[in-house]
């Protein structure tokens, strides 16, 4: 994660103006590990900057992602999620609640690239899919009450 000073320097290096809105949106994203949607960032930013619009938040996130200052994560091809951490890492995705958890594992960063002379690979991201602990324990509660009902 970049510090605010590093973010400002990185923006300048990429020719992006550092506006108050951009900085606020970046700071909001950078302080969470939840890989939020544009909408949830918007709700948070709005408390500090009530006149901001969802379109502005969305546009800003897209601009920052285009310049590799943040990452866009798209679990299971639905709603885009954003990540303030652009260091190489991978994700665990819960298929139930869509929670995204970071995975840092050097081995996963050193996979052998497939060879294709018609394709230049820039990188990759691994998405492990499964069920988080929280959802798994809810399932257990559900299935145990179901079996209680069957007994009665
Ligand atoms: Zn879950
Ligand atoms: Zn992440």
Domain-ending residue, one of 37, 71, 105: 71
Per-residue model confidence as pLDDT tens digits over 25-81: 999 999 999 999 999 999 999 999 999 999 999 999 999 999 999 999 987 777 899
Per-residue model confidence as pLDDT tens digits over 125-144: 899 999 999 999 988 877 77
Ligand nearest to the CA of 34: 2
Ligand nearest to the CA of 1: 2
Domain-ending residue, one of 46, 71, 96: 71
Stronger pLDDT, 112 or 142, i.e. the higher one? 112
Residue 9 CA to ligand 2 center (angstroms) comes to: 22
Is residue 83 situated within a structural domain? Answer: no
Stronger pLDDT, 2 or 104, i.e. the higher one? 104
- Phi, psi angle pair for 125, to nearest 5°: -135, 135
Is residue 8 situated within a structural domain? Answer: yes
| CATH number of the domain residue 93 falls in | 3.30.1490.190
pTM of the model: 0.78
The stretch 3-18 carries a mean pLDDT of: 93
Exposure class string for 92-101: b at 16+ Cβ within 10 A, else e: bbbeeebbbe
Same domain, 4 and 65: yes
Residue 62 CA to ligand 1 center (angstroms) comes to: 26
3-state secondary structure of 151: helix
Same domain, 102 and 151: yes
Residue-range definition of the domain harbouring residue 18: 1-71
Around ion ligand 2, residues with a beta carbon closer than 5 Å are 83, 102
Ligand nearest to the CA of 129: 1
The per-residue pLDDT for 100 is 94
The per-residue pLDDT for 3 is 86
Same domain, 62 and 102: no
The per-residue pLDDT for 147 is 64
Residue 125 CA to ligand 2 center (angstroms) comes to: 10
Residue 28 CA to ligand 1 center (angstroms) comes to: 23
Residue 95 CA to ligand 1 center (angstroms) comes to: 7
Stronger pLDDT, 109 or 2, i.e. the higher one? 109
The per-residue pLDDT for 131 is 95
Give one DSSP letter per residue of 93-144, joined into a string: EETTT--EEEE--GGGGGPPPPP-TT--------EEEE--HHHHHHHHHHHH
């Amino acid at each position: 994660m970049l510090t605010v000073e590093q973010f400002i320097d990185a923006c300048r290096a990429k020719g992006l103006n550092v506006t108050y809105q951009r900085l606020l949106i970046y700071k909001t994203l950078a302080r969470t590990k939840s890989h939020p949607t544009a909408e949830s960032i918007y709700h948070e930013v709005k408390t500090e900057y009530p006149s901001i619009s969802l379109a502005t938040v969305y546009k800003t996130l897209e601009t920052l992602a285009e310049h590799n200052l943040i990452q866009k994560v798209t679990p299971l091809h639905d709603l885009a999620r954003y990540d303030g951490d652009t260091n190489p890492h991978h994700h665990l995705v819960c298929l139930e609640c869509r929670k995204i958890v970071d995975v840092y594992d050097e081995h996963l960063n050193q996979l052998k690239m497939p060879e294709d002379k018609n394709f230049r690979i820039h990188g990759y991201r691994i998405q492990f899919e499964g069920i988080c602990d929280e959802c798994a324990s809810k399932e257990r509660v559900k299935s145990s009450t179901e079996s209680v009902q069957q007994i009665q």
